[in-house]
A and B are shown apart, each in its own frame.
Chain A
Amino acid sequence: MTVVRECFILPGLFLTVVLLGGFRAADGVRFVTPPVMTLVLAMLLLGCLARGRVLAPERLMHSARSGLENVSGLVVLLTLFAACAQVFNLVTPESGLLHALFTVFFFVQLLTTLAAVRDRVLLLRGLSVLLGSAFLLRFVVLESLYSPDGGTLQRVLAVLMEGVTLGTLGYAPNAPVTGYVAFVALALFIAGLVLLAQDSESLVPGSLGPGSLGPGSLGPGSLGPGSLGPGSLGPGSSPGES
């Protein structure tokens, strides 16, 4: 990882996501702090990123690095954690039934990802789809449904939805600028993850490169489908034929 990227670009990107992630504009401007559940989701996401080798913590903090380098690495980790929390804060409605539904959905989705996805590219793609879909649902579908400028049919639909859910949806619409800011925040977050993933691929001085603990040792070639699939336990060694 280049020094500039580690010290300026990544913290700058992630801190910008933290700043924009809580931005809400309606009657006035608000900066919404992330609820506790988003911290849990952020921890899960960090786990997924580490498991998928998008994030390689040993490249950011390690005994082979100097104290100052470790502090820089810690800053990247902390800002990444804060950005993860703010991203979930951003795409989750703030209250009501929708908040609970979105939170449960993210929780289950992240657990599934943590258990199943180990490939860096697949993880990044999956994460982009997950966050992009949540963005569309919240800032396009829900915002247009609850928009105060909407027509009669739209209002009837919103009232019907509230009626069906016994008024538990309780969505408070935001001004359109919130959606634009949210889009920028999500784009910056994904860009930051891509940069982080590129850094995780590169070699750094020390004994903890890809050949020791990186993807090469725990990737498809060792414990993945390639080692346990038909190629390793083929017809000649399958229990059915022995």
Chain B
Amino acid sequence: MTRLLRPLGLVFACAYTALIVWLYSAQPQTMAEMTGGLAAEVGAYRIDRQAFDDGLAFFRRDLFEEARAAFARADPAQRDARTQFYVAYSFYRQGWGRVYSDDELFTQGLVAVDRAIALAPGGRLVVEDETLVMKTADELRAELQRGLTRDASDLNPLRLFGTRK
């Protein structure tokens, strides 16, 4: 019995330590993030497909706040790269303006796309969606960063003829 207890104790200590290290590195903010993150670590995390499809439908009808609410339901732990990509894209489309961009929305979009890149294997995320102009997270990130940058090109009158991607 003693021979069995010591290895079991070591396994227990190692598992508990791993949990603590993960908590301190991942810094989950809610219980949903914590459970989702743990599930994702063991490859058991799944998004709510129905809520994702609802979000996508809202997104394509330019109902961005509704879309983000549905995406939040679909991916409560924010562990799915594709969903986070769409969340970032919704911030971009909502914040884009012919004369100026909404910095607050673009900043939130940047946070979301960074999250998507961090979650994607190797940091490479390509979304095959014909309705999108930017299909990679890198393009979206660069576009969001351009929107937040203030320089002389902001005064270029040709910007008025720019199109939302």
Contact = CB atoms under 8 A, between A and B. Distances in A.
At the interface, is chain A mostly helix, strand, loop or mixed? Answer: helix
Contact of A75 (B10, B24, B28): B10
Given A4-B5, A7-B5, A19-B20, A71 B10 contact: yes
Contacts of B17: 15
A208 interface: no
A3 B10 CA distance: 12
Contacts, number: 54
Contacts of B29: 28-29
B71 to A, nearest CB: 20
Nearest to B3: A68
A164 B30 CA distance: 39
B27 A72 contact: no
B5 A12 contact: no
Contact of B5 (A3, A11, A33): A3
A18 interface: yes
At the interface, is chain B mostly helix, strand, loop or mixed? Answer: helix
A30 interface: yes
A6 B2 CA distance: 11
B100 interface: no
A79 interface: yes
Interface of A: 3-4, 6-8, 11-12, 15, 18-19, 22, 28-31, 33, 68-69, 71-72, 75, 79
22 contacts: A3-B2, A3-B9, A4-B5, A7-B6, A7-B8, A8-B5, A15-B16, A15-B17, A18-B20, A22-B24, A28-B29, A29-B28, A31-B24, A68-B6, A68-B7, A71-B10, A72-B6, A72-B10, A75-B9, A75-B10, A75-B13, A79-B13
